[in-house]
Amino acid sequence: MSPQQPPRRRTDLDSVRLPRIPRRIQLERDRPALRAPRPSSTPPHERHARSGNYQRRTPPRLERTDPNSLRTAPRPAAHSRRRQAMPKAPSQALRRPHMRPAVIVLMCVIAVIAAWGIYKIVDAYRVAPVEPAPNGLAAQPIDSSPDHVIPPSKAVSMYIPAIDLVAEFEDQPCRVKDGAIDPGTMKEACTFTSESKPYTLPGTNSEDITVIAGHTGGGVPAVFNDLYDGGADKHLIKKDDLLYVRTENSGSSWIVYRATDLHAPEKAGLPDSEEIWGTGPMPGRLLTISCVQPANPLAASVRNAVVGWQYEGVVDPSGVEVGAGAGGDKAAAEVSQAPAQPAGDDDTHLPPRRPRRGGRGPLPGASPHNSDTKAAHSISKKIPSR
């Protein structure tokens, strides 16, 4: 039995007592794993180098821009190195020395074509100077004798003294586009004729309505700009004003018409207007038709300006001095005071009525042709066939 150990005192609670019987501890035998490795005096990289599997990695050394400077040049980025590695392609001028003259020639050709196009556009809107009407034409007496006959023929020029309007005519009849009259130019009027319709050319013995059409333009010159004031929304022609037409068969004589009725219908309703077209043949009647340009320059033209004229007689201005056509307003007041006669009231002036041909409905497929710009509104007059 081990000897009895004395009781532990309160002060010995935290102390460690060795056993009274000493015991030998052999560290080398009992705990060999705790033994630390023996330090080596050889550096690790030399030990790996002896094995033959180790390759020392050294950072790349950059060349210095200045050998006398201690600072090294900055390392270029990866994309810069790749860009420098790629061979630089020769420039465009060195590869194709003939391209520069070719580009210059092409630009010159484009400039010439553009200048020619601009000239043609401006020429289309320019109202060409026309042959002036005789200065005293409106003061000449009107010959209403039925013996003075001028067969219907192509109109050459037209003159309205009240507004000092002088116009020339296209060589061909009015162009029809999408079922509506659309004169080919802005500077000339035209007469509408067709084999399938009874409308005739101007003459003293015309058997039905003569239709004369012309363009108007907002802000650009046009042949019929003076027929209607779009800003004031009123006709510039008044009743009993005179219109003079010279034709291929009239020679130096002028066929005279007197204004009888004024209209400004919607383009869609023009073909169905009986007060304009009548219900049967209307010998000696002439219509001038144009567009009404609205006061708003951005708005489209949706109405037509229509003036009805009736044959009055013939004027032969032989020996009258040719002038600029001005002064006709005062001379027109001194013309014969005979009132305008309605169509068909005087059989000596008008040929007998002929049988009515066909209906008076609009052209099939006709539709108003409006333009959103103010440069060149189409006339867009749908002519009823009869």
pLDDT, average across residues 32-53: 62
Question: Residue 204 and residue 254: Cα distance in Å, rounded?
Answer: 10
Rounded to the nearest angstrom, the gap between the alpha carbon of residue 179 and the centroid of all alpha carbons in its chain is 23
Q: What is the pLDDT of residue 250?
A: 92
Domain ranges of the chain: 150-315
323 pLDDT tier (thresholds 50, 70, 90)? very low
Q: CB pairs under 8 A, 24+ apart, for 3-10?
A: none
Q: What pLDDT band is residue 140 in, cutting at 50, 70 and 90?
A: confident
Nearest-angstrom CA–CA distance, 90 and 76:
24
Which of 197-206, 285-294, 339-348 is predicted with the least confidence, judged by mean pLDDT? 339-348
Residue 26, pLDDT above cutoff 90: no
DSSP for 217-247, please give it: -SSS--TTGGGEETTTTEES--TT-EEEEEE
E strand or H helix that includes residue 72: none
User: Residue 22: what pLDDT?
Assistant: 63
As a whole number, mean pLDDT of residues 200-210 equals 94
Q: Between these two residues, 346 and 264, which has the higher pLDDT value?
A: 264
Give pLDDT, residue 197. Answer: 84
Pairwise pLDDT comparison (302 vs 363), residue with the higher score: 302
Section 337-345 average pLDDT: 34
| Segment 268-292, tens digit of pLDDT | 899 889 999 998 999 999 999 999 9
Residue 249's pLDDT band (cuts 50, 70, 90): very high
Long-range contacts of 24-31 (CB under 8 A, 24+ apart): none
| Main-chain phi, psi angles of 229, to 5 degrees | -100, 105
pLDDT at 242 over 70: yes
Q: Per-residue pLDDT tens for 360-370? A: 433 333 333 33
CA distance 315 to 138: 9
120-134, 280-294, 363-377: the lowest-pLDDT one: 363-377
- pLDDT (0 to 100) of residue 105: 86
State the chain's mean pLDDT as an integer.
72
**Mean predicted confidence (pLDDT) in 225-251:** 93
Instruction: Report the pLDDT value the prediction gives residue 333, as an integer from 0 to 100.
Output: 37
pLDDT in the model for residue 23: 63
Cα 190 to Cα 26, 173, 177, 270: the distances in Å are 136, 6, 14, 19
Query: What pLDDT does residue 32 have?
Result: 58
Is residue 108 within 8 Å of residue 116, measured between CB atoms? Answer: no
Q: Where residue 165 falls among pLDDT bands split at 50, 70, 90? A: very high
In percent, how much of the chain has pLDDT > 90? 32
pLDDT of residue 343: 33
Give the pLDDT confidence score for residue 139 in this predicted structure.
84
pTM over 0.75: no
Give the confidence band of 29 by pLDDT, cuts at 50, 70, 90: low
CATH number for domain 150-315, candidates 1.20.1260.10, 2.40.110.10, 2.30.31.70, 2.40.260.10: 2.40.260.10
Give the pLDDT mean for 50-66.
Answer: 61
More confident residue, 28 or 276: 276
Q: How confident is the model at residue 221 (pLDDT cuts 50, 70, 90)?
A: confident
Query: Who has greater pLDDT, 147 or 24?
Result: 147
Q: Which residues pair with 291 in a beta bridge?
A: 304
pLDDT of residue 335: 34
Distance (Å, rounded) from C-alpha 312 to C-alpha 38?
Answer: 141
pLDDT beyond 70 at 54: no
